[in-house]
A and B are shown apart, each in its own frame.
Chain A
Amino acid sequence: MTDTLGPPPAAQAEATADDVDTYEGTGGGPRPTQAQRIVTPRDAVLPIVLVLTLVALYTWVQGQTLDNISVNILDTGAIISATVEHIYIAFTIAVLVVLIAVPMGVLVTRDRTKFLAPIVLGIANFGQAAPSLGLLALVGIYYTGFWAVVLILTGYALLSVLRNTIAGLQQVDKGVLDAAKGMGMSPVAVLLRVELPLAVPIIGAGARTALILAVATVPLGAFLNAGGLGQQLIASIKTDRAAATLAIAVIIAVLALFLDWLASILQRAATPRGVR
């Protein structure tokens, strides 16, 4: 019965005095659900739908009469290796982004370095206003290949994760921090055991959006010879083959949804039970 959508009415009525106390400020109203398990049966739905979509796509493509160009674009071996490249690019970006953005966000929210926050946010805002397309073109003049694309898209995705990390850390209740200090926790312990866990939902939301945007921009990386499914996509759009375009677009979308699904489970695993 524990679903993520909302508490069943019975659970609301059963809110004990203890519960109300831990969720101060709601006037004793309904509280967010606490999903106890990390993976629920509901999580199986999306992968099943995705697999069914791919099967349907495969059958549909088999039924089409394709010319040589489309057949070349849709060559199974090439698509599989391009898919692996695509995942590899997206994964590298995601890991780099989290590794860079979270420490940076922590740094600019410390008391001693607080003055940096507006500067960093200003840069982040400007960077996000610049189009990824133009940045790719600008860097592509001098550098091409895997790392050029990874670094541009990392820098780009970094901004939204950084912004969310700062927002997530700033929204942590000051009373909670005082309580942690009062219990004798060192600043590092407060950060690792109180602040970051409480900020995980917001940081995670930013990271997932960044991942989606990165995965969606990876196809443009094919212009800079970074590999991935973008090659097939650009080839099919340029040669105006609608069936091939559809097939590649669906594969890229399925990939993006799968990565997002994976990220959502990771996010839940990282969220402390009380905040879930």
Chain B
Amino acid sequence: MTGLPFGEWLSQNQLEIIFRVQQHFLLSIYCVGLAAAVGLTIALLTYRYVTIPNISIAVIAILFTIPSVAMFGFVFSLTGNALLTLIPVVVMYGLLPITRNAIVGLQAADPAVIDAAKGMGVGSLRMLWQIRFPIAWPVILAGLRVSTQLTIGILAIAAYVTDFGLGIFGFNALNNLGSVNTGNQALACVLFVAAVALFFDAVFVLVRRFTTPRGVRV
């Protein structure tokens, strides 16, 4: 196991690494965006009820417990297309934190606050937009953040059946344990995926700082 030193391996594979980082980065933006759109829609449609949100969360949670490797393998054997496998499955896994947090957040407003707003003559749309949503925002943002981290991790696993993202390095390493550049590939997978994840985390910290209404700040 005497492969290239890590630095040398990096510079030799520079182009591929940059390409895969970009791919991972963009795919996670697309998938989180889609998951946010779907999750928030579900939350907005259901938060007013008692049973329906619980049922929808339970269904999403059940999908979430299915191991991603299994899901990728199965969906890929049905669709046979890399992107058509990757995006729906990754979005499905990112859905749980967003939907759950959005529903919990929208339902979390103190009944006394809602009563006060009603008493001031606030209508239902304004109630949602000006009262429930700002109160829920930190919780929704936390859900988005968790979902982004999950998405980045699951995108890595998606490389098992597709050719996208940084996970390729990890699976190449796992498939060739003991060969010369295994260590470099595994290390590249860990470091660059972590870098992408930490970058998004930093973005969320900034977004939370600048968008949380002052009264709700924790």
Contacts and interface: CB of A to CB of B under 8 A. Distances in A.
A237 B162 CA distance: 12
A145 interface: no
A10 interface: no
A236 interface: yes
A236 B73 contact: yes
B174 interface: yes
Given A5-B50, A137-B182, A212 B65 contact: yes
Which among A132, A133, A219 has the greatest number of chain B C-beta atoms within 10 A? Answer: A133
A45 B72 CA distance: 28
Interface stretch (A59-67, A107-115, A245-253): A245-253
Which size class do A's interface residues fall under?
A: 35 or more
Given A138-B187, A216-B68, A131 B149 contact: no
Contact of A5 (B54, B74, B169, B177): B54
A237 B112 CA distance: 55
Interface in B146-179: 149, 152-153, 156-157, 160-161, 166-167, 169-171, 173-175, 177-178
Nearest to B65: A256
Contacts of A260: 65
Given A26-B111, A29-B111, A257-B62, A133 B189 contact: yes
Contacts of B78: 242
A253 B185 contact: no
Contact of B110 (A26, A134, A137, A230): A26
Interface in B81-110: 110
Given A136-B174, A137-B182, A216-B67, A237 B73 contact: yes
Leading 7 A-B pairs by shortest Cβ distance: A27-B112, A29-B111, A249-B70, A134-B189, A129-B197, A134-B190, A237-B73
